[in-house]
Structure 1
């Protein structure tokens, strides 16, 4: 009898120990998962991580606090330059003569002299790669005739982009009392800039030799992370004594691009560490799903008063959903057709909106565009449809 009581007692102790061990294992797994999803270790005073396709902010720290932009200013200078190229106002091969004022710039530069003649493309490369203050002035003068006029255009474009807490006073970011930005605004500006393949090509150049009239100028990328962080292909560094070390970086992995902003880091090493922490956090914890491709044709769309009654449409752009890795949540989409379309509708014009859904909630939207020209149904056809719908 004593023997069986002892066995039962030891069995009870053993089962309790096994239960405790099991709980410990479960807690360890939970800790490991939580640790993997913990926020990035960002020591810089202000930072932000953005997924540009959906505009999702994945992390922010003092993102709305005003801060000197330093050479991040040049992102707007380059944006105006590339937009002028797209509009045909200037050409990459256009030759521009440097002024005395341009040659007087300090800080990072390619030592342009008065009278030097450079192409627009050389200027843009010098700005994106070497953060050249002098090249920024030459480009601004070529585009607007005068830096003050160009700065006005910079601030006008900032307002159009919704950069509500940004104000420019120089074309290159050299210190000025009333020049400021935020991590949030710089992310928005970068989101616009990464749309241009040429800018991305220039921003990932490591070294380049520029041919000037009587000499060569070797430029080296100020963004050292181009060579050290996998997938990183841009975008712009900045430094002044007041601003500290700034960096807007962008990297792409597994068909997902991320944009990180770090403002006011103590040194270059701290800036790089904070940037890497942000990007690692994004790539390790999120994935971008393409819900619908821009070229996909959606058929049998019932557009009010249209002829034919059922029309075809396509997304105006790729439709995405950003979700956490490991999340098995159902991703879908839904259409909202415009009930007040003005006919005729030409191919490519909007006939509604497409929403990507995560757990049934809209997270991203794109225009729904007509695949072909759509006419308005005649009065008799509209009356017949009205009667038919009474009995449906």
Structure 2
């Protein structure tokens, strides 16, 4: 433990100034009773509040935010399917703490296992999923650390997929916010983390899981993400709330009081929603611009936003927020549906604060010689 405390001090001194996005001075936020905390706007990563945000701390089960994210990434890449049967090993079944009492003879799908992790914080399911995806938990942990490094985490080292205590298993509020933001890039995760109750097993003894994130009941707009509690870590919570198109991510680590991780998170959200709003211009998948197609079967194509287009607004400050589409005058056929064609910039007082890709709404085939000739004739004779 002494070695880890020294490491905490060294890493904290090396951390310096950290920001996920644009760092701006706002009205002073609340003073929290926690080892560290951070609040960000999920879309841009803009930091709204931080208190010892770079301090390394034991994550406990909020580790599973990364486990869930990597599992869903593997699904997206086609490496595994949610319908896969996850065969739990003797090793996975041996894990205690929060669990679903897996047996090697059990037949549960990856989808069911991920719900067990998200809702019931199951350590045995976490190891089973890690082994299913990477062959061994050790291989999976290497993927966790590689992803953390890719996301820009500087105070993180994972040694397991579940979060049971180890002196060398740590992260920071700032790093966990990055991981949570990455996890939210997979829409399925909110389907899992917003489940309040789930019947995992019918027989021989019924097992109903209750979500450990009590903000789902206590704070409107909450739909994720994960709690974590051990005697060494105290009480941790990485959560997300959306109201009026504004999605926030809060990380509170090392709360002392019973329920303190929930109470301190609510303080953060109450402060943030009193200070900020969100101006949305286009939703994800909404047509945001058009451009012409050269030598295509149609002459113009609509472009849709890859994600929602908007910006955080400080309610106490006047600012001009606008958008600007950066697209070519023409794009050559053929055009593939979902192809990036340009981008839409979000500007605040004339300064670019975010960018969103513009994608082709439909595919456009290349026109044949006769189609082009017919089009030319129509133009000529229209005069």
Question: Do they superpose with TM above 0.5?
Answer: yes
Moved more, 345-354 or 96-105: 345-354
Tell me, in whole angstroms, the C-alpha distance in 1 between the residues paired with 2:189 and 2:346. Answer: 29
The answer to whether the 8 A contact 1:109-1:135 is kept is yes
Look up the match of 2:247.
257
- CA change 1:315–1:233 in 2 (3 A) is closer
| TM-score using structure 2 length | 0.78
Q: Deviations over 1:43-68 (max 9, x none)?
A: 21210111111211111111111111
Which sits farther off after the overlay, 346-355 or 193-202? 346-355
1:116–1:213 Cα contact (<8 Å) kept: no
Correspondent of 2:98 among 100, 108, 117 = 108
Paired with 1:56 and 1:124, the residues of 2 have a C-alpha distance of 29
Q: Is the 8 A contact 1:98 1:138 kept in 2?
A: yes
- Structure 1 segments (4+ residues) deviating >6 Å: 306-312, 341-345, 371-375
Aligned partners of 2:342 and 2:211: how far apart in 1? 44
Aligned to 1:179, which of 158, 162, 169? Answer: 169
Alpha carbons 1:45, 1:263 under 8 Å: kept: yes
Equivalent residues in 2 for 1:1-392, closer than 5 Å: 37-211=27-201, 214-293=204-283, 294-299=285-290, 314-325=304-315, 327-336=317-326, 346-347=335-336, 348-369=338-359
Q: Secondary structure at the match of 1:110?
A: coil
Count of residues in Structure 1 that have an aligned counterpart in Structure 2 = 336
Gaps of 5+ in 1: 1-35, 376-392
Query: Does structure 2 retain, via aligned residues, the 8 Å contact 1:118–1:212?
Result: no
Alpha-carbon distance change, 120 to 352 in structure 1, aligned in 2, over 3 angstroms? closer
Q: Residue 15 of structure 2 aligns with which residue?
A: none
C-alpha contact (below 8 Å) 1:99/1:115 kept by paired residues: no
Displacement, 1:349?
4.0
Structure 2 counterpart of 1:388? none
Given the superposition, is the C-alpha separation of residues 119 and 350 from structure 1 closer, same or farther in structure 2, using an over 3 Å criterion? closer
For residue 21 of structure 2, what is the aligned residue in structure 1? none
Cα distance change, pair 288–273 in 1 and its aligned pair in 2 (3 A): same
Q: How far, CA to CA, are the matches of 1:172 and 1:198 in structure 2? A: 20
Computing the radius of gyration from Cα coordinates, the structure with the larger value is 1
Specify whether residues 337 and 85 from structure 1 end up closer, same or farther in structure 2 by C-alpha distance, changes over 3 A only: closer
Rate the CA distance shift 1:313–1:208 in 2: closer, same or farther, 3 A.
closer
Deviation per CA, 1:23-50, whole angstroms, max 9, x where unpaired? Answer: xxxxxxxxxxxxx954123221210111
Higher helix share: 1
* TM-score with structure 1 setting the length: 0.77
Q: Please state whether the residue corresponding to 2:259 is helix, strand or coil.
A: helix
Helix, strand or coil for the counterpart of 2:82? Answer: coil
Distance 1:208 1:317, change over 3 A: closer
CA distance 1:365–1:345, change in 2 (3 Å): farther
What 5-or-longer segments of structure 2 have no aligned partner?
Answer: 1-25, 367-383
